[in-house]
């Protein structure tokens, strides 16, 4: 019986490599809620594992050997090189929003550290 909790394993690796939820969301082109949902799932699709691995440049095939072939061979969707002006504006807004959220997360962590000392 397979008792690995995919989401928890991935979250541990993501955080131990110094990545924030905002980083993962931005790099995988999903919202932060989706990343939290991934971390709470006991079983993830190989393409999701691959997407996260590609985003943080981590090879999960050692952690999930049962998916090794699928993780390493599945092709990822290639986004078009040019974006429309509307898409660029949306991306700019999202970048600022992501930076703000990341700053809030850092602030919360600092407050937590101060409270512990």
pLDDT computed for residue 43 by the predictor? 92
What's the whole-model pTM score? 0.57
Decide: helix, strand or coil at residue 75.
coil
List pLDDT tens digits, range 47-98: 899 899 988 999 888 888 877 666 555 544 444 445 556 666 666 677 778 8
List pLDDT tens digits, range 78-90: 444 455 566 666 6
- Our CA angle for 16, 33, 98, nearest 5°, is 75
- pLDDT band, residue 30 (cuts 50/70/90): very high
């Amino acid at each position: 019986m397979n008792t690995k909790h995919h989401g928890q394993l991935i979250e541990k690796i993501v955080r131990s490599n110094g990545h924030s939820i905002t980083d993962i969301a931005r790099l995988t082109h999903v919202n932060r809620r989706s990343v939290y949902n991934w971390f709470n799932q006991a079983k993830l699709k190989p393409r999701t594992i691959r997407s996260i691995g590609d985003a943080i440049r981590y090879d999960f095939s050692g952690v999930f050997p049962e998916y090794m072939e699928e993780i390493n061979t599945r092709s990822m969707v290639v986004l078009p090189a040019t974006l429309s002006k509307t898409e660029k504006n949306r991306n700019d807004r999202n970048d600022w929003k992501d930076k703000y959220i990341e700053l809030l997360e850092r602030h919360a962590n600092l407050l937590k550290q101060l409270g512990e000392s």
